[in-house]
Chain A
Amino acid sequence: MIIHHPLLGPRDSSEFVYLGDASLINRPDWQAEDATEAFYDYAYLRDNPAGEHRELWFHEGGDRSWLVVTRNTATHEISKVELARDVARAQGRSK
């Protein structure tokens, strides 16, 4: 698989380390009333779709940036690659 890195262009997927579902960047609030439930959900439960999947890849053999890759799990086709930083900021995080 070739991942089109937003800054570095096309890179082989073997340069990257895979973490999992992109929802992992949305860490729950540890002070919330339902924090126990929310962390159980966050840490252990997955949508695991057959089809389009947003997921986190770390460019370990490159610029060490985290990417959010949108990839089809049934065909391995990659349709979108974003910097995880930009995705998090768009959600109003780390301003």
Chain B
Amino acid sequence: MRYSGFKVIKEALTGHKGWTPAWREPEPKPHYDIVIIGGGGHGLSTAHYLSKVFGLRNVAVIEKGWIGGGNVGRNTTIIRSNYLLDGNEPFYEFSLKLWEGLEQDVNYNAMVSQRGIINLIHTDAQRDAFTRRGNAMILNGADAELLDAEQVRKEYPFLNFNDARFPIKGGLAQRRGGTVRHDAVAWGYARSADSHGVDIIQNCEVTGFRIENGKCLGVETSKGFIGAGKVGCAVAGNSGRVMGMAGMRLPIESHVLQAFVSEGLKPVLPGVITFGAGHFYVSQSDKGGLVFGGDIDGYNSYAQRGNLPVVEDVCEGGMALMPMIGRARLLRMWGGIMDMSMDGSPIIDRTGIDGLYFNGGWCYGGFKATPASGFCFAHLLAKDEPHPTATAYRFDRFRTGRMIDEKGMGNQPNLH
């Protein structure tokens, strides 16, 4: 069934009796060409592109809970492509271009809103760094615009420009950045993949891999063995756990990142802003809540909740940037588990086991990457060679010294 304005009007006039479930609930078949572990944003977008772009229909996505219940359902919904390094920027720009066509592609309203993102500048050194970053973005076909303090003030007059410690000196704007309704991304990809024949199997937990003579033959699950020509793993914070079942140790630590939503307010924030002196980013959802977050808690965690010191730190960032936030009450806060890699950049690659592929290490920037991650992973699974924009995301870059370290922090995941 195609969704359209015409369909909505027709259903409104006929008592909404024609709507059908957005996807089936199939039982697993004994064998698939490709099995994707993880029914989150990345797994579902992989299934969508595998079936729609690469024409592979005998595909299953298996998910231990319900789809979209992990990080795609718990993030700050920001999309952007303002990276510096060659290994990253073409990939994230590819992702932003896919976001721009996403809703037509999957026939689902994901509320992609290119309301713009501004990274604030507080020092001369930061202006130099952001100028360089903006130039790198433009060289890679993205858009970037350097703003002075007056230009920022025009758009965000309520920011704390004259803070004694962190005065706002300008900003790096990316007008094509913005926000997306995160749950709709998972649902849209799931519905599209399902309509192209992909089986989405929920409540089906992977309990092991069947590996013989260095080849992966399929996965053991709570619903029995499922054979597969190829297995792709896209399980974010659980990467270490799942790949551990295949005997692999990863260059990844799992950390908890908290995010927050205030009570609903009248429209105050036109776009996304990030504080350049601390770590704080904020936007306003269409329901009116201020959606904001900051740093990860900083210690290994699989508990989907964080601790108070980081809550305090994030709120201090918010108060320093826009003091009026102090009048808003906090409605919700939550924690998600991030697969923090050793250089802060992701991995989309084959593994040492034939037929087993890995997609992970997204740190806390996985949401904006969802479309390109799925496209590039589908490309790798379908053709056995990396997509041109994802050639740097290799496992062996740590061994060979070709790391993609945007922040220059070295091999300490909690600093990325």
Contact = CB atoms under 8 A, between A and B. Distances in A.
Interface size class of A (residues with CB under 8 A): 20 to 34
B132 interface: no
Q: What's the dominant secondary structure at chain B's contact region?
A: mixed
A47 B251 CA distance: 9
Contacts of A44: 251, 342, 398-399, 411
Contacts of B241: 48, 50
Nearest to B239: A48
Interface size class of B (residues with CB under 8 A): 20 to 34
Contact of A19 (B240, B251, B342, B412): B412
Contacts of B238: 50
Interface in A69-93: 71, 73-76
A13 interface: yes
A74 B303 contact: yes
B254 A48 contact: yes
Interface of B: 238, 240-241, 244, 249-254, 298-303, 307, 309, 342, 398-399, 411-414
A13 B307 contact: yes
12 contacts: A13-B299, A13-B307, A20-B414, A40-B399, A43-B398, A45-B249, A46-B250, A47-B240, A47-B249, A48-B253, A71-B299, A76-B303
B309 A50 contact: no
B45 to A, nearest CB: 25
Contacts of B298: 18
Interface of A: 1, 12-14, 18-21, 40-41, 43-50, 53, 55, 71, 73-76
Nearest to B397: A44
Shortest beta-carbon contacts, A-B, top 10: A48-B240, A14-B309, A50-B302, A44-B398, A45-B249, A44-B251, A18-B299, A74-B302, A73-B300, A73-B302
A1 B307 contact: yes
A76 B301 contact: yes
Nearest to A47: B249
A44 B300 CA distance: 15
Contact of A20 (B301, B303, B309, B412): B412
